[in-house]
Structure 1
Amino acid sequence: MNAIDHPLVAAYLDAVARETAMLPAERRAELLADLREHIEANEARDDGQVRAVLAGLGDPRTVAASALAEEAPAAGTASPAPGSRGRTRLTAVLLSVSGLLVLVSSLLGTIALIAAMVLLWTSPQWGKREKVIATGACVAVPVLMFLGALLGAAGRIGPTELLLVAVFSLGVPVAGATMLVRAARR
């Protein structure tokens, strides 16, 4: 049995994976691959040798803490930059109201949407996943309105449909903004 197939190695790597759950998946996979490579390079064969290699790597919590500490500045979670709280709130508010503003005034809604997108995509505090989800939530309203206009639904909208459009126009962007605020707190 080579070292990488050893049950102690599997338990060690599982512990590191659990402790680094807050890391982006790509970075966690890279860390685990590096650990596997190091373990394989040592060519440990018996329990004693495997234990020695794992002891040399350090406690899984220590390895995870080091990886998390290295990642924190890049993710923007170590210490928020001055004004980032205000920027987070402004981005969330603009995203939340953009759908309703598009209904009220297409120009005002478009300006709010563009401003929100610029704030969102230039902010280092959110990952690509959060940015894509928030963008989809905010762009959904104008896209559906445009499709509705193309299909000629404007003349057939009754009070029930109008209420549904209003709820959708507020609910979807608010859900996207809420997700961003929660992600910023992590």
Structure 2
Amino acid sequence: MKTSADPVRDYLSTVEREASALPADRRQELLADLAEHIEVTRAERPAAPIGEVLAELGDPRTIAATALAEAGNGAAGAPARSGVGEPARRGKVHPLVPLLMLTLSMLFIVVFPESPGPLFGVLFRITGAVLLCTSVRWTAVQKTAGVLLAVVVPSVVIVTSNLSSVGPAAGTPALLANLAMLALMVGTAVWLWRVRRA
């Protein structure tokens, strides 16, 4: 059992070393989150090699760099280490924020099809995608799937459906396409919420 834990210990040690500029409590929280994610993944997929589980998490240096960037600690690590931990926490965005923004973007388009609804929808969708991609709560694969399912596919289907629909019956197919894409986006948001790192 000790042998199978060594890669995990090495992985977490690398994250800890690379994130040494983080305040101690935030660094311990990051390590606990990663350890819990590894444990849950191994419980769900006991046959998966530990190397595969760690590779899905991503490079430990990238995780540490992202945590430092979120904490606003990149160049200003000294104040956080001297005990002033509050400024380091300002950059942290709750994982629900990007998911809500992605979902609400569609609601703006469906509920307010006339201006400025679509404009707000586009702004919410772009902001939600950026927040999703810059978060440490999801792996690169999960972020890519989230952007594809919650941004790219709905945008293509809605634009195609709305542009190709003409005539008096155009409202129903366009509405059905919009509702189907809303369901896809809500489903994606729920999936991302369930697979997020705590």
> What is the TM-score when the length of structure 1 is the normalising length?
0.54
1:158 deviates by 4.9
Q: Give, in whole Å, the separation in 1 of the partners of 2:103 and 2:10.
A: 35
Q: Give, in whole Å, the separation in 2 of the partners of 1:101 and 1:86.
A: 22
Q: Which runs of 5+ in 1 are unaligned?
A: 1-14, 16-58
- Structure 2 partner of 1:179: 191
Question: Where in structure 2 are the equivalents of 1:163-174 lying within 5 Å?
Answer: 164-174=176-186
CA contact (8 A) 2:157 2:177 kept: no
Q: For the structure 1 residues 183 and 84, does the alpha-carbon distance in structure 2 shift closer, same or farther, using more than 3 Å as the test?
A: farther
- Structure 2 partner of 1:63: 6
CA contact (8 A) 1:134 1:180 kept: yes
Aligned residues: 126
Larger Rg: 1
1:154 deviates by 4.1
SS at match of 1:78: helix
Q: By percentage of residues, which structure has more helix?
A: 1
**1:149 partnered with 2:156:** no
Of the candidates 115, 119, 126, which is equivalent to residue 114 of structure 1?
A: 126
Deviations 1:64-121 (A, max 9, x none): 43145246668x9525674788521111111122222223321110011011012112
- Structure 1 partner of 2:63: none
Question: Where in structure 2 are the equivalents of 1:43-54 lying within 5 Å?
Answer: none
- Structure 2 partner of 1:4: none
- Structure 1 partner of 2:52: none
Q: For the structure 1 residues 128 and 170, does the alpha-carbon distance in structure 2 shift closer, same or farther, using more than 3 Å as the test?
A: same
- The AA in structure 2 aligned to 1:176 is T
The runs of 4+ residues in structure 1 deviating greater than 6 Å are none
